[in-house]
């Protein structure tokens, strides 16, 4: 039970019912173990289950955020981007906090996450969570465009045989 990646894989199997019945409680338990054992994608899956109300009878954004923060600390860039979004919009039990949103967006953008860079650009443009800075707003806008372009360019190179 100390191999986070194995717990993650088992959690995914339990979630979809591969090799047995679908079992959301077992999936969540496995994602918890995955996250606790340092496999950050398990943190994202646990967070998503809480956010969607799959772990309990209703959505629990506070628990979801705790897993996103742990995943971000473990260098899971999508967790950083999602945590930033929680603080930008606010969620049930989570107050809007542009300073925290900025911190998570900065980590996401540093990891080449498009949404993280877009959010950074907008925060610098509007002076939300950070002092307004048109030059940095443009810098992060251009970085987001560059990342997006590289992703779409890669997608066009994928071909399938007939």
Instruction: Give the global pTM.
Output: 0.86
DSSP secondary structure string for all residues of 51-95: HTTSSSSS--HHHHHHHHHHHHHTT-HHHHHHHHHHHHH-BTTB-
Residues of the chain with pLDDT under 70: 1, 55, 153-162
pLDDT value, residue 137: 97
Quote the pLDDT of residue 124.
97
């Amino acid at each position: 039970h100390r191999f986070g990646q194995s717990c993650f894989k088992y959690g995914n199997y339990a979630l979809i019912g591969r090799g047995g019945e679908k079992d959301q409680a077992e999936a969540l338990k496995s994602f918890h173990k995955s996250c606790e054992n340092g496999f950050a994608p398990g943190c994202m899956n646990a967070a998503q289950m809480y956010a969607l109300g799959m772990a309990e009878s209703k959505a629990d954004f506070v628990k979801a955020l705790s897993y996103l923060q742990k995943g971000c600390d473990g260098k899971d860039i999508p967790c950083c981007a999602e945590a930033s979004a929680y603080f930008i919009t606010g969620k049930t039990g989570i107050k809007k906090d542009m300073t925290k949103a900025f911190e998570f967006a900065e980590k996401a953008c540093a990891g080449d996450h498009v949404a993280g860079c877009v959010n950074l650009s907008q925060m610098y443009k509007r002076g939300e969570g950070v002092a307004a800075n048109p030059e940095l707003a443009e810098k992060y806008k251009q970085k987001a465009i560059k990342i997006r372009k590289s992703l779409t360019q890669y997608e066009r190179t994928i071909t399938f045989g007939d």
